[in-house]
Amino acid sequence: MVAHLLWEQRVAGSNPVIPTISSPEDAKRLYSVYLGNINSGESPLSEGIPNDMRSNPKYRKTTARGSHPLPSGHTPLPLDKPTLSVQEAALVLHKSMDTITRYCKKGILFAQEVSYGSKKTYVIPRQSILIYMQDQIQKQELEKRQRLQVVPQQPKTEEHGGYLNRFRKALESGLLENKVYSQRTVDDYIYYLEQYFAKYEVIFPDHLETELIAMAHTKAKKVHYYKAVACFTRYLVQKKVVSEELLKEIKKLRPPENKNPKRHVVRLNEMVLLESACQTKLELLILRLLAYTGIRVSEACNLNWEDIDWEGARLVIWKGKGDKSRNVSIPTKAMEVLYSYRESVKPAIGEMPIFLNRDGNRMTPRGMHDRLDALGKRVGIKTHPHALRRAFVTISAHHGIPVVALQHQCGHVHLSTTTKYLRSTEDEVLEITRSINW
């Protein structure tokens, strides 16, 4: 009775998406639309039926408990029948019997509970089935309209230049996601974005995909390029310049990263060879300071003589990654070289940089990297600043220094970052496992 009254109300009302059902022909037409939507595999009408499983024979067993009948095996809607059983409703709506029973219990389908022997089942009015189909078709139409909504107009080329400047400031000041990005990351992002906007006017998935395909043989650059564009898109979404949908499409293009990259670590015996190959006190200071303190190359280049606490044997890193300051202890071997190098540099006071290039200016991270690279080539050992930083963590941990202490020394926010540096070389693993005797 309730279902009948609801049906009468629905018939009397108007529907902006589906015509009012007032005759058996209208019901047939409605059912045809419903079946057509299922055959097209569109959500939500075909929920629970994977497209690649439609040909699986077990999904055609419509009488099996929990099965999903397929469109090819449907039973025509019995328009002359006033009520349907749970099994008939499952065949008509292409749902499992369990789903139909659940719909009846929750009131999604208006039905009358009846006893069948010792079990209980439901009798579902024909009108209730038609109402359900009408609701599903209308729901799908509304979803289509939402998907086809016009995306806000993208900013013009000249506007992007302004956004880039504000984007840089947001990264440096922590206005984007409450995170302060390192200067190196900011410079890299701006570099790649300037390359992008030299070719294209707006952020668009197809443009990004074209650039990433062209970088097929440079995986690292490919990842950095994507991260720059994705981060900039997040900023534009925050400023409501572009829609969330654009960001979702950009994220689909994320290139796979190597989860276990081959990281180079300078071993203890190689350190001895590198020290013997140093030709100047400056080379020895660079090598020992990075390897014995674990500081970043950018932090080393920013050091001034006044940042050294000679009595306490420590460095003061005023602006590390993320503009964070910390104190770093200096081991004896590094202090010895610092004393020796100070005597050879005049004057070595105040705000003067510790590391100077050949022109007398502050040494850059690139310049320090090149000096270590040249040093390594003399003895055939691959050497760069970050390899020495990893060597500090690995060797120190092997000598029993707690990982938490190493985390502070390296300036890592998360302990997991420090543990990633603890990479045993293949030779070390073979040497250790060779000594195992069960």
Tell me which residue of 113, 136, 155, 123 sits closest to 31, measured CA to CA.
Answer: 136
pLDDT for residue 50: 37
Q: Cβ distance 80 to 74 under 8 Å?
A: no
Residues in the chain: 438
CA distances from 110 to 86, 102, 355 (A): 12, 11, 81
pLDDT for residue 102: 87
pLDDT for residue 300: 93
Q: At 308, give phi and psi (nearest 5°).
A: -100, 125
Tell me which residue of 413, 407, 378 sits closest to 392, measured CA to CA.
Answer: 407
Distance CA 2, CA 7 (A): 9
pLDDT for residue 38: 55
Q: Which two tokens stand for residue 117?
A: 């022997």
Tell me which residue of 368, 366, 372 sits closest to 354, measured CA to CA.
Answer: 368
CA distances from 333 to 4, 53, 192, 403 (A): 92, 68, 41, 22
pLDDT for residue 148: 54
Q: Which two tokens stand for residue 199?
A: 């070719």
Q: Cβ distance 258 to 241 under 8 Å?
A: no
C-beta neighbour count of 140 within 10 angstroms: 19
Q: Which residues contact 195 (CB under 8 A, 6 or more apart)?
A: 225
Distance CA 263, CA 107 (A): 60
- The rounded percent of the chain whose pLDDT value lies above 90 is 31
pLDDT for residue 331: 93
pLDDT for residue 215: 87
User: Which parts of the chain have pLDDT scores under 70?
Assistant: 1-31, 33-80, 145-162, 258-263, 319-323, 347-348, 423-438
> Which residue do the tokens 């022909």 mark?
25
Q: Cβ distance 192 to 224 under 8 Å?
A: yes
Sign of torsion over alpha carbons 130, 132, 136, 138 = positive
pLDDT for residue 156: 47
Helix, strand, coil share of the chain (percent; to 5): 55, 5, 35
Distance CA 201, CA 365 (A): 33
Q: At 213, give phi and psi (nearest 5°).
A: -65, -40
Q: Cβ distance 232 to 274 under 8 Å?
A: no
Q: Which two tokens stand for residue 408?
A: 């502070």
The distance of Cα 299 from the centroid of its chain, to the nearest Å, equals: 28
